[in-house]
Amino acid sequence: MNDVTTGAAARQLRQVAAPARPSAASDALVFGWRAVLKFKHLPEQLFDLVMTPIMFTLLFTFVFGGALAGSPREYLQYFLPGILVQTVVFNSVYSGMGLATDMGKGLFDRFRSLPIWSLAPFAGLMVGDVLRHLIAGGIILAIGLLLGYRPAAGVPGVVAGFALLIAIGFGMGWIFLVVGLIVRTPMTVMTLSFSFLFPLVFASNIMVDPGTMPGWLRAVVEVNPISLMTTAERGLMAGTATAGQVLLALAAPVALTLLLAPVTLLLYRRK
């Protein structure tokens, strides 16, 4: 009786085809869902994402707005697109921190043993980045609207501006993925990343018109990639952006993606 049962089970097993290997897109979606679940189970992460840009928006608008632009409302028209760019750039650091955390817990050792697309775990981190950018950007824009900011290009301009923000965040995120693969602890990743970002962000046209700066500093600020991104963001939301401005804003994110995505995969395979 046992032999008959065993034979029947063996025939059934032979009749079942092996499952198809999941596609790269399917792997990426699974890891993207993992990123979504992190927000569900750790909603306090959102506090860190939005508090700093909110404080920057309120402080600069009401403390410096009158001195820099004549009135807080006028300054907000100049400043808010820039603070959106700053928020996305700063939030990109969380990719590297999340990667360092997962590496420290040994999760990526398990991922490497699975028959999945090599970049799928990083795709999941990028999905988490996009969610962070949209959530933080939406909150900052809502506060700006309450304070009197009015995008001249309306809804189409805002949509185009947010599309540019996502592209910026995607490109900048590769920098911090590389840092997360090289550095062992999340706090060290954060310290190194912000040490690099603060001079880049504050030596830009996010907060002040470069026309008021000394000549040597103005020359640096005008070629700063963050300045180019901010100029395009302002233009898209005001309806005055040119194709050249948008292309210049996208140059750094595209170059970073082409250069650092292979480096990320190489470091990941060597770990």
Give tens-digit pLDDT for 202-261. 999 998 888 888 889 999 999 999 999 999 999 999 999 999 999 999 999 999 999 998
Residue 1 — pLDDT band, cuts 50, 70, 90? Answer: very low
Instruction: For residue 140, give both structure tokens.
Output: 């900052």
pTM: 0.85
Considering the domain boundaries, does residue 11 fall inside one?
Answer: no
Q: Is the pLDDT of residue 45 over 70?
A: no
Residue 254: Cβ within 10 Å count: 13
Cα separation, 240 vs 225, in Å, equals 19
Is 107 domain-assigned?
yes
pLDDT at 6: 61
Residue 120: give the domain boundaries. 24-270
For residue 6, tell me if it sits in a domain: no
**What is the per-residue pLDDT for 12?**
59
Name the domain count of the chain.
1
Residues listed for the chain: 271
Measured in Å, how far apart are the chain's first and last C-alpha atoms? 52
Mean pLDDT (whole number) for 51-76: 84
Residue 5 forms part of a structural domain: no
Those residues whose C-beta lies under 8 Å from the C-beta of residue 67, and which sit 6 or more positions away, are none
174, part of any domain: yes
Dmax over Cα atoms in the chain, in whole Å?
93
Which residues 6+ apart lie within 8 Å of 137 measured at CB?
Answer: 84, 87, 88, 162, 165
Residue 125 lies in a domain: yes
Q: Is residue 14 one of the residues assigned to a domain? A: no
Q: Domain for residue 16, yes or no?
A: no
SS3 71: coil
CA gap 180, 186 in Å, rounded? 7
- Residue with the bigger pLDDT between 201 and 66: it is 201
The confidence score (pLDDT) of residue 19 equals 64
Question: What average pLDDT does the segment 31-38 reach?
Answer: 77
Q: How far is CA 112 from the centre of its chain?
A: 24
